[in-house]
Amino acid sequence: MIELSTSRILILGAGYGGLVTATRLQKGLNYNEAEVTLVNKYDYHYLTTWLHEPAAGTSHHERAKVDLNEVLDTKKINFVQGTVESIEPDNKKVKLEDGTELAFDYLVIGLGSEPETFGIEGLKEHAFSIRTIDSVRMIKEHIEYMFSRFNNEPDRRDYLTFVVGGAGFTGIEFVGELADRIPELCREFDVDPNLVRIINIEAAPTALPGFDPELVEYAMDVLKRKGVEFLINTPIKECTPDGVILANGEEIKAGTVIWTGGVRGNHIVEESGIDVMRGRVKVDEYLRAPGYEDIFVVGDCSLIINEETDRPYPPTAQIATQQGFNCAENLIALIRGGELKPFKPELKGTLASLGRGEAIGVIGNKKLLGSSAAIMKKLSDLRYLFILGGISLALKKAKF
């Protein structure tokens, strides 16, 4: 009698794409139908679309965390806490930093992104980045430290200047939250609010490039009323320990520089030998890496071209979540000998918060702004939490 071996599915990364793949597999697979292992650096998942809030200090960083033991069925999913060091696609092997080697029959790469500096000198060394729970905790503490230092050195007004590079969604959402936090910090540290500057710098001709112009104008008006200054169509040439130098030679002295100007795929994928474009894998219609029928790529590491615009879809949580559903469905189909289903993004809408009670967005063909957009943003967050962990997680983490 010949024993049939159980397929080994290895998922790298518990971001939106990787974790949704894992939770869908645990619901769709029968016991012993496959051996599923999820590898993640932390024992929690964090909601990247919420990180701008704890970075500014308007919410606690714990709110953006979801413990993996709350959403994983350990009888169906093996969780390994570790950091991926290398991927050997041809040897069907992944090596972790602690020396552990994991073999796979099917691999799902969801390792997330890294900051794209566009060659700007000094960004990596001197700018903060809104990327992880640890990074946003550092940003919050640094902002408070700058207020404290100003009290001891009141001639250093640059301590109270905050430069945010990039006016995409993350940059816009962060400056909205930071503007809301400033009055509280000024009261706490006895600082005149008129001494504080928040400067949002964007190299493109407009904030929120590619977004509806009417909503962009509304967003900028709201943020300007909160005290945010905009420098649009103004590239940053260099980031220094003292602030930034613009392409026109102007220097802006700042105690804090936060870079939100773009991302690229994880370097580990690029170093694996898999074909990439700016660190991202141009996947086939089934989310597979070129030349590999057993390797799927989801989230920020994947590149999908929108045939209508001939441009890549933006690496959003919405698309990563949808990829997780599709990837799990196709893995189950492979194990059971079924047919694969092509992945087609369904863009239900785009929403961006502007701070307390304010947001903008497009749902279908409908434009939303103000409180109605803010409510839709909360409902969208609630839906994702429900997908991940059901009604209990949604009620626990939801912001009412």
Total structural domains in the chain? 2
Is the pLDDT at 1 greater than 50? The verdict is no
Mean pLDDT value across residues 235-244:
97
Do residues 295 and 320 share a domain? yes
Angle between helices 16-28 and 371-397 (to 10 degrees): 50
CATH of the domain at 211: 3.50.50.60
Mean pLDDT value across residues 307-327:
91
Of 322, 338, 354, the residue at which a domain comes to its end is 338
Residue of 67, 48, 17, 61 lying closest to 392 (CA atoms): 67
User: What's the pTM value of the predicted model, to 2 decimals?
Assistant: 0.94
59 within some domain: no
Do residues 179 and 212 share a domain? yes
Residue 399 pLDDT: 65
Do residues 143 and 92 share a domain? no
**Burial grade of 90 (CB within 10 A; 0-12, 13-18, 19 or more):** exposed
396 within some domain: no
Of 289, 310, 338, the residue at which a domain comes to its end is 338
Do residues 237 and 291 share a domain? no
Active site residue ranges: 173
Residue 37 pLDDT: 98
Residue 400 pLDDT: 55
399 vs 51, residue with greater confidence: 51
pLDDT digits (tens, 9 = 90+) for 253-304: 999 999 999 888 899 999 999 999 878 999 999 999 999 999 999 999 999 9
307 within some domain: yes
How far, in Å, CA of 347 to CA of 96, rounded?
35
CATH of the domain at 329: 3.50.50.100
Do residues 289 and 332 share a domain? yes
74 within some domain: no
107 within some domain: yes
Widest Cα–Cα separation across the chain: 83
Do residues 135 and 234 share a domain? yes
Residue span of the structural domain in which 279 resides? 7-41+82-115+263-338
pLDDT digits (tens, 9 = 90+) for 67-99: 999 999 989 999 999 999 999 999 999 999 999
Do residues 310 and 233 share a domain? no
How far, in Å, CA of 35 to CA of 188, rounded?
53
